[in-house]
Amino acid sequence: MTEAEKLEFMETFEIEIKNFFTSISNHVQKHPELIEVLLNYRIQTKSMLLNNLSKIKKSIAQLNDPLINEKFEKMKLNRENISKLMSLNTDEYTAALSEVDALKKEADQIEKEISARVSQKNFSGYQKLTWKDIQKQLLPNECAIEIVRTNQIYINDSAGTNYSFIILKSTGYPVMLMMDRPITWEEEVLSLYRKSINDRKDEPDLYRRLWKGIKEKAGTATTVYLSSDGIYNQVNLNTLYNSETKKYLIEEINIHGLSSLRDINELKIKPLHIPSNVALIGNPVFNYDLSKLPENKKNFGNDLAVRGGFGFVLDQLPGTKTEIETIKTQLEKGSVNTTALTEEKANESNVKKIKNPDVLHFATHGFFLEDLPEATLAQLSKTERSFYGNPMMRSGVFLSGANNTYSLNTINIDHIADFEDGTLTAYEVMNLDLDKTELVVLSACETGLGKVKNGEGVFGLQRAFKLAGAKSVIMSLWSVSDAATMELMINFYKRWMNTGDLYGSFKEAQLDVKKKYPEPYYWGAFVLNGR
């Protein structure tokens, strides 16, 4: 099956899974052993599809089978061309719809064949970890927290949302905290959170709603390994303000965000280290000097409505120039092999040639487009819905030439294989070669946003880079200040080069920025997730 088919197949079990969680919730007080059942289930299935796809990709590289490699490259090429055709304006896209459909069918068929061949030859599935395996990795001052979100229908037929927080300490059995909330709770809390960030005003009630109960169960733990779900993927817990201590959560505890608690095992065995090679992309020239382009690329463009109805002119980000230059100097002083792509060289074509740097860093504009209305999707063909309804097509970063693309009118379809529109979408990111990449840094706006799917995480740039092979991603949850971001990133690399501690350096860099810019809006936009 393709990834989309696997996801659709998994979604058919949502009712059964919801009933399973509901049953446990109703009986857990009399039968606390059910907490172990639920936690083991989540450890073994959380982000299962993401991990399954990542393992298949690694197996392809390990097998080094010429036939599989050839098919894999063909599938990637088809998807590249599909993405480019989706950038056409309405009339051109309509004319190319049959070609898009054919490319998609061929790519899907190849994906099925590759998945089957890899499974037969070298794919052994999951290592079946349990909560006891996770507990062995925890120190006395640490705990692991699994968040489980489900929709609920109560006895009076009212709809609601249930959050279960399973807390695992270094000794003893896991314990669970449950919260039943009205269906509007998430929207209300998220709206309040975003308002407090944008208004630069602390809202202590958010700490009570999102963390206080968890803190009471976690006790004296100073380090938390957190596997999030639901709304917890959309807020930075470090920015919550505790009115009793007059401190933000970042000042009280260390939070390690993980795709799954399974990742604790790998995280724990990693020694402190600094990267050996880094690729930096920043300060793109959004307005190309067309006289410098090859003839066959001068008339590429598209319709503003194609990518979700947004019209804009991208402004240059002067801070990204300083950011890239300063980080490059820091890294080279530490004898780190560094490649910097800036100005015209910060383009899609060059980015797609990058293979397996230890760190891949983007300093540019990012974007995330909300879901299209159901009424709009209903008017589209099945092929169109599969792409315009795909969150991977609605998030990305802008590179050189993006303004040219969004201001011109036509694309020369005869040269579609050469066409790059200056917009690197999450859909395209999945094709990058990052199997040996430790960290991707997205020093750009809203790069951590996407569509949240219970049990699988956020579908957007974060997932795309992990599917491409990256172990960890630094990303933002809201539009960020150019100056504050520059200072944060420069400080982060400086500390990492001195200590080799990735997580510690990121946190200390945020605290340093906080001294100059106290409001979370400036220092709290970025989160680090991975292993």
Q: For tokens 């608690």, what's the residue?
A: 261
pLDDT digits (tens, 9 = 90+) for 14-29: 667 767 777 777 777 7
Strands (E), 259-314: 277-284
Comparing 457 with 522, the larger pLDDT belongs to 522
pLDDT digits (tens, 9 = 90+) for 256-303: 999 899 999 888 877 778 999 999 999 999 886 655 554 444 443 332
The pTM is what?
0.84
Residue 45's Cβ-count burial label (10 Å; 0-12, 13-18, 19+) is middle
Burial string for 232-256 (b: 16+ CB within 10 Å, else e) reads bbbbbbbbbbbeeeeebbbeebbbb
Examine residue 244 and state whether it is found in any structural domain, yes or no: no
Least confident of 49-53, 84-88, 121-125, 493-497: 121-125
Examine residue 76 and state whether it is found in any structural domain, yes or no: no
Strands (E), 233-325: 241-242, 247-248, 254-258, 277-284
Examine residue 176 and state whether it is found in any structural domain, yes or no: no
Examine residue 42 and state whether it is found in any structural domain, yes or no: no
Whole-angstrom distance, CA of residue 206 vs CA of residue 212 = 9
Examine residue 451 and state whether it is found in any structural domain, yes or no: yes
Number of domains in the chain: 1
Best-predicted range by mean pLDDT (95-104, 240-249, 522-531): 240-249
The CATH number of the domain holding residue 482 is: 3.40.50.1460
pLDDT digits (tens, 9 = 90+) for 67-107: 888 888 898 888 888 877 776 666 666 677 788 888 888 98
- Comparing CA positions, the residue from 374, 375, 376, 371 lying closest to residue 390 is 371
Collapsing DSSP to helix, strand or coil, 260 comes out as coil
Examine residue 295 and state whether it is found in any structural domain, yes or no: yes
- Average pLDDT (164-191) is 91
The pLDDT value recorded for residue 460 is 82
Q: What is the DSSP letter of 209?
A: I
**Which residue range is the domain that position 482 belongs to?**
277-530
Examine residue 224 and state whether it is found in any structural domain, yes or no: no
Q: Strands 223-227 and 241-242: what pairing?
A: unpaired
Residue 270's Cβ-count burial label (10 Å; 0-12, 13-18, 19+) is exposed
The pLDDT value recorded for residue 316 is 83
Examine residue 438 and state whether it is found in any structural domain, yes or no: yes
